[in-house]
Amino acid sequence: MIKEAIASAQSRLMLAIDNPRVDLGFIVDLISATRNTVVGYKIGTPLILSRGLKSIRSLIDSFSGTYFLADLKLGDIAQIMEYTVELVRDAGFSGVVVNAFVGYEGALDRVARKCGSLPLDLFLQITFDHPASYIVDSRYSDIKMVVQQADPAGLVVPASKTTMIRDLRETFGGSYVILSPGIFAAGAEPGEALCYGADVEVVGSRVTSAPSPREALDSVVRAQRRFLSEKKECVWRGGPSET
């Protein structure tokens, strides 16, 4: 599902909507104004909890054919995660984010099978961009093994972790879609993660909090293209399609 969403989008951007205080009417207007440009929408746990799954399902149903990713970053025993991904699919989401560090046997093996049967795209969160993420990064070789075992639809890697993005792309080729959140927030420039091998960058408050989200989004798309055009050696050889 995610590869089809990327192929049909006019940019390599996904929009994150996390703020639990935003009005649903604003979200409807935001999606209406941007859905033809972005790959899809990453909906965060705060918003899901504040509005409830019924409201979120109504929102998703209003935009049939649009890709919605539940950014839950699950990390629990298998049964709890299985229950959760069923609820996520029932709410109309196309994908869900699960932490890779929970391991495969007796955990992600069951979640991967459940997602495959629903169907629901499984994304594995590889690491984070806060200072203490070195704890997760210290098990990077084990996490790569988990990725190979779970065979997800995609990976989530912060845009600031460019060395890791490059390594994952070189290790796994085009097997997995790489989403990279954190442009602006973590200091990465639009287009930087794409250059190192990501498929899609994720932008949030820079667009959602702007006076004109549509204009802000267009500005980020232009910045992506400019970065890629100025860099002579990029792992990722494609480029956002022209609007």
First to last CA, the chain: 22
For 28-86, what is each residue's pLDDT tens digit? 999 999 999 999 999 999 999 999 999 999 999 999 999 999 999 999 999 999 999 99
pLDDT confidence of 233, banded at 50, 70, 90?
confident
**In the prediction, which pLDDT does 192 show?**
94
Q: What is the pLDDT of residue 236?
A: 59
Does the predicted model carry a pTM greater than 0.85? Answer: yes
CA–CA gap between residue 30 and residue 33 (Å, rounded): 5
Domains belonging to the chain, first-starting first, are 2-230 (3.20.20.70)
CA 62, chain centre distance (Å): 21
Specify the pLDDT at position 234. Answer: 82
Higher pLDDT, 242 or 166: 166
Q: What is the mean pLDDT of residues 173-182?
A: 95
* pLDDT classification of 11: cutoffs 50, 70, 90: very high
Q: Identify the pLDDT of residue 231.
A: 79
Average pLDDT, the chain: 93
Q: E strand or H helix at 115, and its extent? A: helix 109-117
Q: What is the pLDDT of residue 240?
A: 37
Nearest CA to 91 among 69, 114, 124?
A: 69
What DSSP string describes 123-142? EEE---SSGGGHHHHTTHHH
